[in-house]
Structure 1
Amino acid sequence: MKVIALLLIAGYVSSEYVSTRTSCTYNGKSYRDGQSFPSSDGCNTCSCGPRGFVGCTRRACVKTCTYNGKSYRDGQSFPSSDGCNTCSCGPRGFVGCTRMACIKPIGCNYNGQRYAVGETFPSSDGCNTCRCDRRGQVGCTRMACFVDRRP
């Protein structure tokens, strides 16, 4: 005998189910009595109860996550705090990040000289200033230089 109903009891809600003695069906899949499984919303958990009844939790689904004080949408990718890995906002507000080894440069080479990360030094034009960044790249100011051509 097939019975189709909607059950709403003490914080549980169910979808369509087919009653049998030792199992239930939820969204086309069969489950054993007492077995738990994910709800179709991806946020809640359901379980197969007595006489084929399906009960599901009714927690609000979180569609955002927070990482280092910033909010991101579900599925959105963003840079990791280490500067070389990538993170993404997953289901239920969880953040997942890649775990690749980060190769940190020890310094920069500029005009045959080696400079430490964060170190500033004069530009080859003699009037601008350069700095070695954490990626091992040199950045320099671009001010116009006054050239004194007097003898």
Structure 2
Amino acid sequence: MWGSIGNTYSMGDMLVDDQVCGVCANHGFGIRCYGSLDGTCALNSTVAKAGDPACLYNLKIYLVGDVFATLDGCNKCLCTERGMQCTMKACSSAGFATPSKEPIYGECLYNGGWYRHQTQWLTRDGCNTCYCHSIGNYQGGYECTKSKCPCSAVNQPEITATCTCGSIGSTYKKGDILVDDQVCGVCLSYGFGIRCYGSVGTCALNGTVAKAGDPACMYNFKIYLVGEVFATLDGCNKCLCTENGMQCTMKACSSAGFTTPSDYGGECLYNNGYYKRHTQWMARDGCNTCYCHYIGSYQEAYECTTSTCPCNAVNQPEITG
């Protein structure tokens, strides 16, 4: 036991323990701690602090901002304050594996179905992947990503897109971004209509592996494909483009924390508050950050990350650990 933290955990929360040796997680039935097995501190020589959020995958600890590859070999994850957020590509051209109801002893048993060694499947929550990585005497070992699923907003308008770069016969909800049918740029639904973005006169996605209808991300008018990692304008955060949109860290870059707005005297106007140039603040949804980055004729422009906020599961046990 590496020590306890006087924090309240919801199920799935993972925090650095009070000795900064390992992490403690709430599995819903209690707190369990993880660290090195040889008596040393797994987090030695890191910048971790007690109570910091962290991630655990394949028994390895990652801190906020760390990017790591999954065992299936074709996906990656970003550790954020909301836990790991991962891509969920099917590594095989045949798609995700389907389970066998008949036992395949020595291989992997998941949710009542058996999967062969070195196969990959979609989890039952629909927003994570698992991989069967080892063979056992009765059943093998598997590892699943643990991204928190985004909330599906209620009553969002759905639109079938027709874009200036080409048309896609896809149904969009607000915030969806898809590669257009000419693989030049992306089309984005604002909820009241579709708007397309790409290079003027040229194809922004030339030379990429993008396909029409692929999910994509856009930040500061630059297009990113699933699996790409990029830095935010504030200089201290990073994002991973996933099938569920960009997923970003949300560190306060200043030691004083996020900037609070003023009623007047700033350059960027956001949510009825003013912020000075080169300042950073928390978005009103509580899971994104914004940055005031350049001067305009009337007010400066700002850019916000657009991570999808995870759902707060109902009746999850909370434990002080």
Mark yes or no: TM-score above 0.5: no
Bigger Cα Rg: 1
TM-score of the two chains, using structure 1 as the length reference: 0.30
TM-score of the two chains, using structure 2 as the length reference: 0.16
